Structures are given as C-alpha cells and as structure tokens.
C-alpha cells in the first residue's frame, strides 16, 4: 500500500522515515519529495508497505504523531489523474 506522509520535519531523512514505518512491518520504498531547484524537502513524502494490514495499522497509529516537533499527517495515498494535474496548474 502506498502511504502519504505530510507535515514532515524538513530535516528528516528517508532512512529515518523508513525506520518509523518499519516498526509496523516491511517497507519496500520511501521517497521524500524535494524541490527540483533547491533540493530542499517539500515537507511530504510517500512510504510503500508490502502488507496492507500493517500499512493500515501504521496509518492509524502514526497519523497525528509528533516527530521532531511536527504532527505527521498520514493516510492512504491516492492516485493522481490527468484531471488533478490540470486542476492544480489552473489554481496557481
């Protein structure tokens, strides 16, 4: 299951984020999204967990949890569609 993790501390590494989620089960991938020009974290990322039940438990337990002074926002990631991308561009 692909999990969205928002409100990340800007200094957290992908390895640290992976460690948080590995307490709930096997993590196959972690990606913190960064600005393509500055390389700085945008404050959100994605965690892929192998087992859906473990992923749901992680979502329930970690949503709202404080990490390095910030309360994480954790939920199941949703797929973006071409319509979502057009809407985002038109709102800028």
Task: Show the DSSP H helices in 1-92 as ranges.
Answer: 14-22, 52-62, 82-91
53-82 pLDDT per residue, tens: 999 999 999 999 999 999 999 999 987 766
Range of the domain at 83: 2-91
Residue 90 has pLDDT above 60, yes or no: no
Mean pLDDT, range 22-31, rounded to an integer: 98
Number of domains observed in the structure of the chain:
1
pTM: 0.85
Give me the CATH number covering residue 18.
3.30.70.330
Q: Provide, rounded to the nearest whole percent, the portion of the chain with pLDDT above 90.
A: 84
Integer-rounded Cα radius of gyration of the chain: 14
């Amino acid at each position: 299951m692909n999990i969205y993790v928002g409100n990340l501390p800007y200094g957290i590494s992908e390895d640290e984020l992976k460690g948080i989620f590995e307490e709930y089960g096997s993590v196959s991938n972690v990606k913190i999204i960064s600005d393509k020009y500055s390389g700085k974290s945008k404050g959100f990322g994605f965690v892929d967990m192998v087992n859906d039940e473990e992923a749901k438990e992680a979502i329930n337990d970690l949503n709202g949890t404080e990490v390095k002074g910030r309360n994480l926002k954790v939920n199941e990631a949703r797929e973006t569609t071409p319509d979502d991308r057009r809407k985002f561009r038109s709102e800028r």
